[in-house]
Amino acid sequence: MTLRESYIQGLIDLLAAIPSFPAGVHRSMSVAFSREDSPALIVHRGAEDIENSLGDDTERHCEILISVVSRGDAPDQEADEVMEIAHPAIMQFSAPGLYLVEEVGTNAPVFAGADGNACMVTTRYKVHYCTSRLSLGA
């Protein structure tokens, strides 16, 4: 397993373990959209940049996207309530090789459905970590 995938799995485990967490936690968008539970939080990958400035090591900066899909009269408000609980846990996440979790920003809500009662809000985080130039793992 690559380090970035281990970080995604670690975040899923961390969020799912929060007592009374107000959303189902998933790795797959398709699983979250095919379920009727609302809200749903999805942990998935974004882009990754690298810096080859450390000799034999590569510094990596990988976006990890946290999307909340909610349905209701004010789905964007519900998404914010989920992120209010998730954000501090994400920012304090630690794992081997990981040296910084940085919040990058939040995308505008995307509404769906004829009456706009479904919404997805994605917050972008960047994890900074280091690997060997020849490996995506530890």
Q: Please report, for the chain, the start and end positions of each structural domain, with discontinuous segments joined by +.
A: 3-132
Q: Quick one: average pLDDT of 17-33? A: 86
Backbone phi and psi for residue 80, each to the nearest 5 degrees, phi listed first: -65, -35
Class of domain 3-132: alpha beta
Mean confidence (pLDDT) of the chain: 90
Least confident of 55-59, 75-79, 119-123: 55-59
**pTM for this model (two decimals):** 0.91
Q: What percent of the chain is predicted at pLDDT more than 70?
A: 91
Q: Quick one: average pLDDT of 36-48? A: 90
Q: Which of 25, 119, 35 is nearest to 73 (CA)?
A: 119
Check pLDDT > 90 for residue 6.
yes
Task: Quote the DSSP letter at residue 81.
Answer: H
Q: What's the gap between Cα 89 and its chain centre?
A: 11
* pLDDT digits 0-9 by tens, 79-103: 999 999 999 999 999 999 899 999 9
* CA gap 32, 18 in Å, rounded: 19
The three-point CA angle 103-68-105 to 5° equals 20
CB atoms within 10 A of CB 66: 23
Check pLDDT > 70 for residue 34.
no
The strand pairing partners of 60, in sequence order, are 50, 129
